[in-house]
Chain A
Amino acid sequence: SQTIHQWPATLVQPVGSPLSLECTVEGTSNPNLYWYRQAAGRGLQLLFYSVGIGQISSEVPQNLSASRPQDRQFILSSKKLLLSDSGFYLCAWSPLTDTQYFGPGTRLTVL
Protein backbone atom coordinates (compact mmCIF):
# COMPACT_ATOMS: atom_id res chain seq x y z
CA SER A 1 0.00 0.00 0.00
CA GLN A 2 1.01 3.60 -0.48
CA THR A 3 2.30 5.80 2.32
CA ILE A 4 3.17 9.47 2.37
CA HIS A 5 5.57 10.99 4.90
CA GLN A 6 6.30 14.57 5.83
CA TRP A 7 8.94 15.98 8.10
CA PRO A 8 9.44 17.69 10.30
CA ALA A 9 6.05 17.56 12.00
CA THR A 10 6.55 20.96 13.61
CA LEU A 11 9.03 23.74 13.02
CA VAL A 12 9.66 27.11 14.62
CA GLN A 13 11.91 29.40 12.61
CA PRO A 14 12.98 33.03 12.88
CA VAL A 15 12.13 35.55 10.20
CA GLY A 16 14.78 35.58 7.49
CA SER A 17 15.94 32.00 8.05
CA PRO A 18 15.86 29.35 5.30
CA LEU A 19 13.30 26.56 5.08
CA SER A 20 13.28 23.02 3.82
CA LEU A 21 10.28 20.73 4.18
CA GLU A 22 10.39 17.23 2.79
CA CYS A 23 7.73 14.90 1.50
CA THR A 24 8.24 11.32 0.36
CA VAL A 25 5.84 8.75 -1.01
CA GLU A 26 6.22 4.99 -0.81
CA GLY A 27 4.53 2.21 -2.73
CA THR A 28 3.85 3.95 -6.02
CA SER A 29 5.69 5.21 -9.07
CA ASN A 30 5.49 8.48 -10.96
CA PRO A 31 2.84 10.05 -8.73
CA ASN A 32 1.57 13.58 -9.13
CA LEU A 33 2.77 15.53 -6.09
CA TYR A 34 1.32 18.65 -4.51
CA TRP A 35 2.16 21.21 -1.83
CA TYR A 36 -0.68 23.04 -0.09
CA ARG A 37 -0.74 25.62 2.67
CA GLN A 38 -3.60 25.80 5.13
CA ALA A 39 -4.00 28.95 7.17
CA ALA A 40 -6.02 29.16 10.39
CA GLY A 41 -7.33 25.61 10.10
CA ARG A 42 -9.47 26.34 7.10
CA GLY A 43 -9.13 26.49 3.37
CA LEU A 44 -6.31 24.97 1.39
CA GLN A 45 -4.20 26.95 -1.01
CA LEU A 46 -2.39 25.00 -3.72
CA LEU A 47 1.22 26.17 -3.86
CA PHE A 48 2.96 23.79 -6.27
CA TYR A 49 2.34 20.61 -8.16
CA SER A 50 4.60 18.24 -10.03
CA VAL A 51 3.92 15.58 -12.64
CA GLY A 52 7.48 14.27 -12.79
CA ILE A 53 11.11 14.71 -11.77
CA GLY A 54 12.19 18.29 -12.25
CA GLN A 55 8.72 19.36 -13.44
CA ILE A 56 7.25 21.95 -11.09
CA SER A 57 4.28 24.22 -11.62
CA SER A 58 3.63 27.15 -9.32
CA GLU A 59 0.11 28.29 -8.60
CA VAL A 60 0.81 31.61 -6.92
CA PRO A 61 3.82 33.92 -6.75
CA GLN A 62 5.34 33.78 -3.30
CA ASN A 63 8.40 33.47 -1.15
CA LEU A 64 8.58 29.71 -1.62
CA SER A 65 9.97 27.28 -4.18
CA ALA A 66 9.64 23.55 -4.75
CA SER A 67 11.83 20.85 -6.19
CA ARG A 68 11.45 17.21 -7.11
CA PRO A 69 14.90 15.65 -7.18
CA GLN A 70 13.60 12.08 -7.18
CA ASP A 71 10.42 10.42 -8.40
CA ARG A 72 8.87 10.13 -4.94
CA GLN A 73 10.45 13.11 -3.19
CA PHE A 74 9.04 16.63 -3.10
CA ILE A 75 10.76 19.47 -1.27
CA LEU A 76 9.41 22.88 -0.30
CA SER A 77 12.00 25.57 0.30
CA SER A 78 12.53 29.19 1.08
CA LYS A 79 15.70 31.27 1.22
CA LYS A 80 14.28 33.79 3.71
CA LEU A 81 11.12 33.16 5.68
CA LEU A 82 8.50 35.84 6.25
CA LEU A 83 5.99 36.02 9.09
CA SER A 84 3.25 35.38 6.54
CA ASP A 85 4.80 31.99 5.70
CA SER A 86 3.45 30.58 8.96
CA GLY A 87 0.84 27.88 8.49
CA PHE A 88 0.15 24.20 8.12
CA TYR A 89 1.85 22.72 5.07
CA LEU A 90 0.38 19.65 3.48
CA CYS A 91 1.88 17.39 0.86
CA ALA A 92 -0.35 15.17 -1.25
CA TRP A 93 0.05 12.62 -3.99
CA SER A 94 -2.29 11.24 -6.62
CA PRO A 95 -2.17 8.52 -9.22
CA LEU A 96 -2.44 10.54 -12.43
CA THR A 97 -5.66 12.57 -12.20
CA ASP A 98 -7.54 10.78 -9.45
CA THR A 99 -7.98 11.13 -5.70
CA GLN A 100 -5.35 13.07 -3.78
CA TYR A 101 -3.96 11.48 -0.62
CA PHE A 102 -2.48 13.72 2.02
CA GLY A 103 0.45 13.47 4.36
CA PRO A 104 0.29 14.30 8.07
CA GLY A 105 1.41 17.90 7.55
CA THR A 106 4.06 20.25 8.95
CA ARG A 107 3.15 23.06 11.33
CA LEU A 108 5.45 26.01 10.59
CA THR A 109 5.64 28.98 12.91
CA VAL A 110 7.75 31.93 11.86
CA LEU A 111 8.64 34.30 14.70
Chain B
Amino acid sequence: AQSVAQPEDQVNVAEGNPLTVKCTYSVSGNPYLFWYVQYPNRGLQFLLKYITGDNLVKGSYGFEAEFNKSQTSFHLKKPSALVSDSALYFCAVSRGRDMRFGAGTRLTVKP
Protein backbone atom coordinates (compact mmCIF):
# COMPACT_ATOMS: atom_id res chain seq x y z
CA ALA B 1 0.00 0.00 0.00
CA GLN B 2 1.17 3.49 -0.71
CA SER B 3 1.77 6.14 1.92
CA VAL B 4 3.37 9.53 2.43
CA ALA B 5 5.05 11.05 5.44
CA GLN B 6 5.42 14.71 6.27
CA PRO B 7 8.04 14.75 9.01
CA GLU B 8 7.41 18.33 10.15
CA ASP B 9 4.19 19.41 11.82
CA GLN B 10 5.22 23.04 11.64
CA VAL B 11 7.58 25.07 9.47
CA ASN B 12 8.36 28.71 10.21
CA VAL B 13 10.14 31.00 7.76
CA ALA B 14 10.66 34.72 7.38
CA GLU B 15 9.05 36.54 4.51
CA GLY B 16 11.39 36.70 1.54
CA ASN B 17 13.36 33.62 2.58
CA PRO B 18 13.19 30.33 0.68
CA LEU B 19 10.87 27.68 2.07
CA THR B 20 10.88 23.89 1.95
CA VAL B 21 8.11 21.58 3.09
CA LYS B 22 9.24 17.98 3.22
CA CYS B 23 7.49 14.84 2.00
CA THR B 24 8.65 11.25 1.61
CA TYR B 25 6.65 8.50 -0.01
CA SER B 26 6.34 4.75 -0.11
CA VAL B 27 4.71 3.07 -3.07
CA SER B 28 5.28 0.06 -5.28
CA GLY B 29 5.78 1.04 -8.87
CA ASN B 30 5.80 4.54 -10.25
CA PRO B 31 4.16 7.09 -7.99
CA TYR B 32 1.78 9.87 -8.81
CA LEU B 33 2.64 12.61 -6.31
CA PHE B 34 0.69 15.73 -5.42
CA TRP B 35 0.83 18.83 -3.26
CA TYR B 36 -2.25 20.62 -1.97
CA VAL B 37 -2.70 23.73 0.16
CA GLN B 38 -5.53 24.41 2.60
CA TYR B 39 -6.48 27.79 4.03
CA PRO B 40 -8.60 27.96 7.20
CA ASN B 41 -12.10 26.54 6.80
CA ARG B 42 -11.57 25.94 3.09
CA GLY B 43 -11.22 22.92 0.88
CA LEU B 44 -7.87 21.72 -0.42
CA GLN B 45 -6.44 23.52 -3.44
CA PHE B 46 -4.30 21.63 -5.94
CA LEU B 47 -0.79 23.07 -6.30
CA LEU B 48 1.15 20.65 -8.49
CA LYS B 49 1.69 17.02 -9.39
CA TYR B 50 4.39 14.69 -10.59
CA ILE B 51 3.45 11.87 -12.93
CA THR B 52 6.54 11.33 -15.04
CA GLY B 53 9.24 13.28 -16.82
CA ASP B 54 11.22 16.22 -15.46
CA ASN B 55 12.03 15.79 -11.77
CA LEU B 56 11.37 19.48 -11.09
CA VAL B 57 7.69 20.28 -11.26
CA LYS B 58 6.39 23.84 -11.32
CA GLY B 59 2.98 24.67 -9.95
CA SER B 60 0.67 27.44 -8.86
CA TYR B 61 1.64 30.58 -6.90
CA GLY B 62 5.38 30.15 -7.58
CA PHE B 63 5.67 26.77 -5.88
CA GLU B 64 7.73 23.93 -7.24
CA ALA B 65 8.57 20.43 -6.10
CA GLU B 66 11.49 18.14 -6.74
CA PHE B 67 10.96 14.44 -7.24
CA ASN B 68 13.90 12.37 -5.97
CA LYS B 69 13.49 8.69 -6.68
CA SER B 70 16.60 7.54 -4.79
CA GLN B 71 15.51 9.34 -1.64
CA THR B 72 11.79 8.68 -2.25
CA SER B 73 11.11 12.34 -1.60
CA PHE B 74 8.94 15.03 -3.11
CA HIS B 75 9.73 18.25 -1.26
CA LEU B 76 7.76 21.43 -1.91
CA LYS B 77 9.80 24.60 -2.41
CA LYS B 78 9.44 28.29 -3.08
CA PRO B 79 12.36 30.68 -3.59
CA SER B 80 10.82 33.60 -1.70
CA ALA B 81 8.06 33.10 0.85
CA LEU B 82 5.09 35.43 1.25
CA VAL B 83 3.01 36.00 4.38
CA SER B 84 0.03 34.89 2.31
CA ASP B 85 1.67 31.47 1.86
CA SER B 86 0.86 30.71 5.49
CA ALA B 87 -1.44 27.68 5.37
CA LEU B 88 -1.64 23.92 5.83
CA TYR B 89 0.14 21.89 3.16
CA PHE B 90 -0.59 18.29 2.25
CA CYS B 91 1.48 15.86 0.26
CA ALA B 92 -0.37 12.97 -1.40
CA VAL B 93 0.42 9.83 -3.39
CA SER B 94 -1.97 7.95 -5.61
CA ARG B 95 -2.22 4.68 -7.43
CA GLY B 96 -5.36 4.68 -9.50
CA ARG B 97 -8.21 6.27 -7.60
CA ASP B 98 -6.64 5.48 -4.22
CA MET B 99 -5.05 8.71 -2.97
CA ARG B 100 -3.31 8.83 0.40
CA PHE B 101 -2.56 12.08 2.16
CA GLY B 102 0.11 13.00 4.65
CA ALA B 103 -0.81 14.44 8.01
CA GLY B 104 -0.10 17.97 6.83
CA THR B 105 2.51 20.62 7.60
CA ARG B 106 1.52 24.01 8.90
CA LEU B 107 3.59 26.72 7.26
CA THR B 108 3.86 30.08 8.95
CA VAL B 109 5.57 32.94 7.15
CA LYS B 110 6.43 35.83 9.42
CA PRO B 111 6.80 39.42 8.19
Interface of A toward B, CB cutoff 8 Å: 6, 32, 41-44, 46, 49, 51, 88, 90, 92, 94, 96-97, 99-105, 107
Contacts and interface: CB of A to CB of B under 8 A. Distances in A.
B51 to A, nearest CB: 9
A30 to B, nearest CB: 13
A101 B46 contact: yes
Given A43-B104, A44-B90, A99-B34, A32 B97 contact: yes
B40 to A, nearest CB: 8
Contacts of A88: 41
B102 A97 contact: no
A105 B90 contact: no
A20 to B, nearest CB: 19
B43 A103 contact: yes
A90 B42 CA distance: 9
Bin chain B's interface residue count. 20 to 34
A23 to B, nearest CB: 11
Contacts of A92: 43-44
Interface string B30-57: 0000101000111111100100000000
Contact of B94 (A51, A97, A101): A97
Contact of A43 (B40, B45, B49, B102): B102
A104 B43 contact: yes
Given A43-B101, A99-B34, A103-B43, 10 more contacts: A42-B88, A42-B104, A49-B97, A92-B44, A96-B97, A97-B96, A100-B46, A101-B46, A102-B44, A105-B43
A104 B12 CA distance: 26
Interface string B50-84: 00000000000000000000000000000000000
Contacts of B97: 32, 49, 51, 94, 96-97
28 contacts: A32-B97, A41-B40, A41-B88, A41-B104, A42-B88, A43-B102, A43-B103, A43-B104, A44-B44, A44-B90, A44-B101, A49-B97, A51-B97, A88-B41, A90-B43, A90-B44, A92-B44, A94-B97, A96-B97, A97-B94, A97-B97, A99-B46, A99-B49, A101-B46, A103-B43, A104-B43, A105-B42, A107-B41
